[in-house]
Amino acid sequence: MPSLVIGTKSKKPARSRKKKISAALKKISNEHIPVSREKTEDLASRDKGSLVARKALERSEKSFRALAEHAPDIIARFDKDFRHLYVNRQAEKVLGISRENIIGRTHSELGYPDYLVDLWQKKIVDVFLKKEKMTIEFAVLVHSGDRYFESSLVPELNEQGEVESVLALTRDITHFKETEKRISDLNTRLKAQAKDLENINQELESFTYAVSHDLRAPIRSIKGFTEAIQQDFLSELPDKAKDYLRRANRAAHKMSQLIDSLLELSREGRKEVQTGRVNLSSLARDFLAELRNSQPERKSEFVIEEGLEVRGDSRLLEIALQNLLRNAWKFTMGRSPARIEFGVKNEKDKRIFFVRDNGVGFDMSYAGKLFVPFQRLHSASEFPGAGVGLSTVKRIMRKHNGRIWAESQEGKGATFYFSIGAEENDDGGR
């Protein structure tokens, strides 16, 4: 770069010196101006970028304020000294304090109880230190009474990545808490009622068992004496007396069957469920073989789906399945061949087992009586039985958190369906 020295003497004419000076200044000017322009443009660009950023920040803050002011939740901002930097309208409404009396103050200065002050301060400190979202749940007494709140505290970071303030969004969850309490109270009452009902059922079962057991002895005596009279004095009795004795003996025999059924029903209700793997297909196959052997003269067809396994009480499920199959065998009397099917179908990811027959069926308008003890849809003379088999099945299914129902048409057979709740989330071994 050429240097300019002012005040030295020169032998050249003044006009020549002026030209050189002018040329030198022009050269210096030409060399330095581009650098100065670059710096100026850079500074101008920075100022413009800063201005754009400030305007964007102002727009963002304005949008935040607009949303916050109309939000249904309490929104507040805190500094590291726990002071309120901002609160929205909802905070004023819920706390019953004007915004001017909240800004710049801490929870302690606003009269919050000590436990709540400590809770808020601890969480705000945690957010500043850990730079993570925190959640708190608390109850507070406000002007409208006790309210329950849930707050989410999130860090607000500056350009250096440090926490500058903490933004808290507080939601009134009083309605949810009250609903939760009502549900809890209702569950408590239901549990108490269920316990009372269980105790009543146990007492009723004990009473039934005791009465049935005590009735056995006099019934046996009646049967014994009527049979003795028939054997020892039959020839001396007139025909009318003989008929009376036969009726008395049949009535005593029927009463004995009813007592046995009551005892069986009571015993099944008192048994506890012992859960394990149960192969229903095997149980059905074995029992149907027994029924066929008991009446080999009958023509019959049995269809049993293989591999049907469940989780449940093997002893109780065997009793239930035998009752259903025995009924199917009984009510297919006169059919040639009698057809009995045991299988399963899937409905909404649940397995529904069924026993289907081609027997006499029944009128569905009387289906409500099926599972009531001692209620019969057919006469005892046509189809003998005490009328407790299906009620026993219903009890057993209830013990397995399952249910039983039936579908039928008169003269076209019947299908009994049952589900076992204990195995609803089990693949049943298939």
**Of 43, 70, 97, which residue is a domain's last?**
70
Same domain, yes or no, for 60 and 166? no
CB 139 within 8 Å of CB 130: no
How far apart CA 222 and CA 219 sit, in angstroms, is 5
Kindly state the tokens that stand for 175. Answer: 């309605």
Secondary structure class of 284 (helix, strand, coil)? helix
| 428 found inside a domain | no
| 374 found inside a domain | yes
How many residues make up the chain in this entry? 430
Kindly state the tokens that stand for 181. Answer: 């309490």
25: containing domain: 21-70
Same domain, yes or no, for 32 and 78? no
CB 340 within 8 Å of CB 329: yes
Same domain, yes or no, for 27 and 130? no
| 119 found inside a domain | yes
How far apart CA 105 and CA 218 sit, in angstroms, is 90
CB 400 within 8 Å of CB 422: yes
Same domain, yes or no, for 289 and 419? yes
Question: How many structural domains are present in the chain?
Answer: 4
pLDDT 10s per residue in the chain (430 long)?
333 233 334 444 555 555 555 555 455 445 544 445 555 555 555 555 566 656 666 676 777 777 788 888 999 999 999 999 999 999 998 888 999 999 999 999 998 889 999 999 999 999 999 999 999 998 877 666 778 999 999 999 998 999 999 999 999 899 898 899 899 999 999 998 888 887 776 666 666 666 666 777 788 888 888 888 888 888 888 888 888 888 888 888 777 776 776 676 666 666 677 889 999 999 999 999 998 988 889 899 999 999 999 999 888 898 889 889 988 988 888 888 999 999 999 887 789 999 999 988 887 877 777 777 655 655 555 555 555 678 888 888 888 889 899 898 888 889 999 999 855 444 433 3
CB 386 within 8 Å of CB 368: no
Same domain, yes or no, for 294 and 366? yes
Neighbours of 193 (CB within 10 A): 10
| 15 found inside a domain | no
**Of 70, 104, 135, which residue is a domain's last?**
70
For the domain that residue 409 is a member of, what is the CATH number?
3.30.565.10
Same domain, yes or no, for 314 and 401? yes
Same domain, yes or no, for 115 and 127? yes
| 4 found inside a domain | no
How far apart CA 87 and CA 102 sit, in angstroms, is 8
Same domain, yes or no, for 415 and 338? yes
Same domain, yes or no, for 419 and 278? yes
Question: Which string of b and e fits 217-251 if b means at least 16 CB within 10 Å?
Answer: eebeebbeebeebeeeeeeeeeeeeeeebeebbee
The residue written with tokens 């929870």 in the block is: 107
Same domain, yes or no, for 301 and 356? yes
Q: Which residues pair with 309 in a beta bridge?
A: 279
| 63 found inside a domain | yes
| 66 found inside a domain | yes
Same domain, yes or no, for 306 and 408? yes
Cα angle for residues 134, 136, 142 (degrees, 5° grid): 140
How far apart CA 85 and CA 65 sit, in angstroms, is 13
| 7 found inside a domain | no
First to last CA, the chain: 96
CB 135 within 8 Å of CB 151: yes
Alpha-carbon distance values, 148 to 70, 135, 175, 271, 319 (Å)? 21, 14, 8, 47, 54
**Of 55, 70, 85, which residue is a domain's last?**
70
Query: Judging by DSSP bridges, how do beta strands 163-172 and 74-78 pair with one another?
Result: antiparallel
The residue written with tokens 């029992």 in the block is: 287
Same domain, yes or no, for 99 and 131? yes
Residue 272 gets which letter from DSSP? P
CB 153 within 8 Å of CB 124: yes
For the domain that residue 141 is a member of, what is the CATH number?
3.30.450.20
